[in-house]
Structures are given as C-alpha cells and as structure tokens.
Homo-oligomer: A and B are copies of this chain.
Amino acid sequence: MNKVKKVTIQDVAKYANVSVGTIDRVIHNRGKVSPEKKQKIEEVIQKLNFNPNLLARTLALGNRFQICALIPSAPYSDHYWSIPKSGLEKAETMYKHFGVVVDIFYYQLFDESSFNDQAQKILSQNPDGIILAPLFIHESQLFVRQLEEKAIPYVFIDSDLPGQNSLSYIGPDLEQSAFIAAKLLDSVLEKEGDLLMLHMVKGYENAVALKRIESGFEKFFSNRNDNPDRIHKLTINSTNKEAVFRELTKFYIKNQNIKGVFVTNSKAFLVSDFHLTHELNIKIVGYDLVQENVSHLKSGSIDFLISQSPQQQGMKAVQSLFELFVYKKEPEKIQNVPLDIIIRENVDFYLNFN
C-alpha cells in the first residue's frame, strides 16, 4: 500500500527549521517574518510541494458560506424549475462539507411582489453570495443594486441581465438555441411550407430575450437567402389552454400552409395538443424537458426539444460562488451551457436526476 503521505505544515516547519507559526505567517503573508526565512520557507514549500489540506483548513476556520438562491417556485413536481433546483441541491450536498449552505427562496412566476418579498428576506440574511433567476427585469435590477451596495456577489442563471455587474451568467446562448431550432425544424420539413415562431407571454417576460430568440431563428433562414415571408410570428398573451387554442385557431385559419412551429417557451405541449385535436400534421420544436413535453415527444407529436442543461446551471452557479469564496477564483463572465438536442430516442438519458 503506497500511502502517498501528504505533506503537512509540520513537515515544512521541520524541514525549514522553524515553527509552524512562521510557516503560517508566510502562507497567509501576515508579515512579521524575516526576509531570509521567508524565502527559505517558500523554497521548501515548493520543493516539498506542500498544499494546505482544505479539509483541515475548513475545519479550523469553521467558516460557513451562505448562498441564497432566488428562483421561481415549481408549482408541481416535474415542473421546469424543479430541475435547476435539483442542481442547486446536488451542488449543496457536494460542497456542504466545506461549509456551504444553499438556501432557496421561491417567487411566483407571475407575481413581482412575491419576488420583492423574497428578495428582501434574502437581504435581511446578509448572505455571502446570491444565485438569481432574473425573470422580472425591473425588480431584478433593483435587487441587484442593493446587492452591490452590500458588496454581495451574485450570479444569474437561466436568463441574463446584461449591463449588470454579475459575477457570471450561467445559461443558454438564446440566439444560438433559436438558430438550432430553425435548423432542426428545417431538417424535417423537406424544404417547403411556412413556419411559425410562436411566443406565449404574460407581459412580464424579458423582451430582450425574445428579441434574441427571434434574431437567431431568422438568421438561419436569411443565411440561406430564404424567402422571409416563409416565417410567421405570433404572440399570444397567455399560457392558458383555452386562450392559446382560440388564438391558434384564428391564426391557422388565416395561414393554412404552416408546416412547422417553433415554440419559444416550454409550452410546446399546448401546441401539440392543439395539433392532435385538430388532426394537423405540423412539426414542432420546443424548449425544455418538462413532463408534458416529454410525453408528447415520446408519442411523436413533438419532434425536437432543446434542453438547456438546467441541472448543470444550478450546479455551476454554486460551484462558481464556492470557488470565488475559497480560491478567490473569478469565473467566466458568461458560462453558456450545452444546448442538448432531445429526440424521442435519447430523451431517457437526460431524465434521471438522482
């Protein structure tokens, strides 16, 4: 058994003929060390390849890093937001031994006041770092301003709020994701028929994000010099089934040559439902592995889903903050996650979140 005996601070001390206290001073440059010894010690550290034992350090310091996350609540299991949440939790169990605590606060998806309430609660806790899904632009900006006053670092997940001093944005490249959606739709369409890009919004959505998506989608076709009239856009101000059905009916009656739909949120299953009830053979590309989408994908009524590694987003967010706390390591300002292309045949591999 080759016990790769770890080099300890004691070893360094013995080797350099000083006490551990002096080593400690050098490591943390607290001064009060004669230049000669300092240099000697630094050499010894090099030679012995000494690395402080993070375990012992954490134990001795007893430091706790409180990370607060502010994300939408998942009203039911299998809801989209339960996945980033599971990523946060997974990362917490990973890092909890190093004193990391992740407290998750939830706001209601269409209720800014709940956002503000929770934000204030978080502020009163004086956490060491924040993970924020800034779905409400204005409220998020206000919150972020307060964080900056308190010098609390924060990362965005899921969607970005450019122009802020966030430590990092961890999420999809939206424009590229729409470009991919376009390509996928095109690949199943035999190069003919019209296309619909369908937004469903409730008025609070990030308009910049939608613009990016539109631009990515259109870019694919303009790159090919396609006829721009092929692409239709429809915005429905609701995610309510009846409302969506009503609007879709109206639209499809006027536009009978639609062969493919790109649904720009996670509600592709609603459109799929509509197609099924009206026996329309129209292809669908959507976002996110929410339960309804998955079952429509498996039954073949949705063709592609684009998944933006939601679990990884949660994990990376915690990881980025942890590394900042412990190693003073600044993460990349933008961390784009993989855009997974999901079809019926590979969906199962993406579904197990232990």
Smallest CB-CB A-B distances: 10 pairs: A341-B341, A338-B349, A54-B97, A339-B346, A55-B55, A180-B345, A55-B97, A55-B59, A1-B126, A338-B350
For residue A202, CB closer than 8 A to chain B, the reply is: no
A277 CB within 8 Å of chain B: no
Q: With a CB–CB cut-off of 8 A, which chain B residues contact A97?
A: 53-55, 98
Interface assignment of A125: CB less than 8 Å from any CB of chain B: yes
- State which of A80-88, A109-117, A182-190, A228-236 sits at the interface with chain B: A182-190
A3 at interface (Cβ–Cβ under 8 A)?
yes
Contact digits for A52-89, partner B, Cβ 8 Å, 1 yes 0 no: 01111011000010100000000000000000000000
20 further contact pairs, Cβ within 8 A, besides A4-B64, A4-B101: A1-B125, A1-B126, A3-B64, A53-B97, A55-B55, A55-B59, A55-B98, A59-B59, A176-B345, A180-B346, A187-B187, A187-B188, A190-B190, A338-B340, A338-B349, A339-B346, A339-B349, A340-B346, A341-B341, A341-B346
Q: Residue A217 at the B interface, CB < 8 A? A: no
User: How many copies of this protein are present in the complex?
Assistant: 2
Cβ < 8 Å to B, chain A residues 28-55: 53-55
Instruction: Across the interface, name the chain B residue whose C-beta is closest to A308.
Output: B349
Q: Which residue on B lies nearest to A306, using beta carbons?
A: B346
Q: Interface residue tally of chain A, by bracket?
A: 35 or more
Q: Name the residue of chain B whose CB is nearest to the CB of A54.
A: B97
A26 part of interface (Cβ distance < 8 Å): no
Chain B residues, Cβ within 8 Å of A1: 66, 125-126
CB of A179 within 8 A of chain B? yes
Return A330 CB to nearest CB of chain B, in Å.
14
* B-binding residues in A (CB < 8 A): 1-4, 53-56, 58-59, 64, 66, 94, 97-98, 101, 125-126, 173, 176, 179-180, 183, 187-188, 190, 336-341, 343, 345-346, 349-350
Q: List residues of chain B with CB within 8 A of the CB of A56.
A: 59
Q: Please, which residue of chain B has its CB at the minimum distance from the CB of A184?
A: B343
What are 14 inter-chain pairs, A to B, with CB distance below 8 A? Answer: A2-B125, A55-B59, A55-B97, A59-B59, A176-B346, A187-B187, A336-B349, A338-B340, A338-B349, A338-B350, A339-B349, A340-B340, A341-B341, A341-B343
Give the residues in chain B near A350, CB-CB below 8 Å.
338
CB distance from A66 to the nearest CB of B (A): 7
- Closest-by-CB residue of B relative to A319 is B94
Q: A4: which B residues are within 8 A, CB to CB?
A: 64, 66, 101
Q: Which residues of B contact A349 (CB under 8 A)?
A: 173, 336-339
